[in-house]
Amino acid sequence: MPTTTFAGPVKAGGISTSTGNILGENVANQGFAKMVQVAQVIELGHVGTGNSVWTDIVIPANSQIIRMALLTTTAFDSTYGYIYVDDDRPSDPQIGAVPGLTIGLSESTGSLVGDLGKWKDVGTSDIHLSYHIGSTSTGTAGVGTLIVEYVQNNNLTA
Amino acid sequence: MANNPHAQTYKGSTTFSGPIKAGSRWLDVPNYDRTTVPGTIAVKDLPNAGFVVCSQSCAVEQKAAAQTATDINLPSGSMILSIQYIVTAAFTGTKKDLIMYLDPGVPDEWRVLTPSDGTGGGLPVLDAVGVYNVTPNVGDTRHVEAWRNISDDREADHVEGRSIDVRQDSTNDGDGRCIVTINYVPGMDLPNA
């Protein structure tokens, strides 16, 4: 299938700049295209933060992370099957966690969300995502697809 | 199939065959050691292009005949990221739910995109207007894997490059109406896990 690639961010809307206050005529209405990268996650027993496993996901600088989820196709260890997503600086707080305990789709929400600052803005450099698995896990069968949705170069400052 | 009242209002004007990708680096890089931390290649040298998320929506009526086709037709190799129902008229009757299927053209080979418990369970009971997020059907792994790649080449009906219809089944003649939205990435074509 053909692929069209842009440097991004990709935006769409009929009015790019506000020049007045009449909706639909001169008030900017462009939005960002939502982006996604996915990576396969495999259970490897206990994987500590010191030897996190790299994914193929690299989030561009200044992006806003808006969703992290796991589509589990083979369940992870029923006791410790939480996948913790880190960036390329393992000493930093984890970005989020997703449970892979059962087959299906699970989201990183509520207390599973880690470093909120990274969700708001990943920072001035790209971040390379890795993952580790809950302590003392011994399972090796789990398979899932990590889904990370983001807005490229939103550069939020709040 | 109900008419989409917004079909003309939101008629697209810029169209690509897709998938659309964006990022400052998208070329392949040499292999790197995925199990070594920190990585053996600096992050600034890794590709960072992601896929643009696409969506298709359709209007459905609860009273439509079982297995009615919808306006949604997903490109080959798509990965489904999420499914949402916007219920504009509450569903009525014994079963107030809505099941969505992938129909590759062979009825016995349909894959179910939503839970299939007609009395509720993991399938939202649509007895009130509102927004409902729908999860995969965990009753069979092949249904979950259909979210990962709608064109799973392990399926008996698989045809390389063929788009796949989405059908609806509400199993009731009630008065419910809703908009179904499927968010997906076309052409990702993930390999088997």
Go through the domains of chain A in sequence order and give each one's CATH number: 1-33 (no CATH), 34-151 (2.60.120)
Lowest mean pLDDT among A122-131, A136-145, B85-94, B145-154: A136-145
Distance of CA B110 to the CA centre of its chain: 14
State yes or no: cis peptide before A9, omega within 30 of 0: yes
Contacts of A36 in chain B (CB under 8 A): 50-51, 53, 81, 185
Q: What is the pLDDT of residue A123?
A: 92
Q: Is A141 on the interface with B (CB under 8 A)?
A: no
Q: Write the CA distances from B47 to A56, B25, B28, B133, integer angstroms.
A: 9, 5, 7, 32
pLDDT of B12 higher than 80: no
Q: Write the CA distances from B64 to B6, B39, B75, B118, B171, integer angstroms.
A: 20, 54, 25, 16, 9
Question: What is the band of B26 on the pLDDT scale with cuts at 50, 70, 90?
Answer: confident
Q: Write the CA distances from A26 to A19, A33, A51, integer angstroms.
A: 5, 21, 53
pLDDT of B37 higher than 50: no
Stated pTM of the model: 0.89
Find the residue in A nearest to B16 (Cα): A4
Lowest mean pLDDT among B67-76, B126-135, B142-151, B156-165: B156-165
For B187, the closest of A1, A73, A152 (CB atoms) is A1
Q: Of the spans A114-118, B11-15, B78-82, B185-189, which averages the highest pLDDT?
A: B78-82
Averaged pLDDT for residues A51-77 = 91
Lowest mean pLDDT among A89-93, A103-107, A144-148, B156-160: A89-93
Residue of B37 and A113 predicted with greater confidence:
A113
For A10, the closest of B20, B44, B190 (CB atoms) is B20
Alpha-carbon gap, residue B57 to B63, rounded angstroms: 18
**What string of DSSP letters covers B49-74?**
-EEEPEEEEEEEETTSPTTEEEEEEE
Point out which residues pair with B57 in neighbouring strands.
Answer: B181
B65-118 tens-digit pLDDT:
888 899 999 999 999 999 999 999 999 988 888 999 998 777 677 889 998 765
Averaged pLDDT for residues A54-61 = 90
For A8, the closest of B22, B44, B145 (CB atoms) is B22
Domain boundaries, chain B: 54-185
Contacts of B10 in chain A (CB under 8 A): none
Q: Is A145 on the interface with B (CB under 8 A)?
A: yes
Test B141 with A73 for CB contact under 8 angstroms: yes
Which residue type, as a one-letter code, is found at position B139? G
Averaged pLDDT for residues B168-176 = 84
- Asked if the B54-185 domain carries CATH number 1.10.1760, the reply is no
ipTM above 0.90, yes or no: no
Question: What is the band of A2 on the pLDDT scale with cuts at 50, 70, 90?
Answer: low
For B81, the closest of A102, A147, A152 (CB atoms) is A147
Question: What is the band of B121 on the pLDDT scale with cuts at 50, 70, 90?
Answer: low
**What string of DSSP letters covers A55-109?**
EEEEEPTT-EEEEEEEEEEEPPPTTT-EEEEE-S-TTSPP-EEEE-SSSEEEE--
Test A6 with B21 for CB contact under 8 angstroms: yes
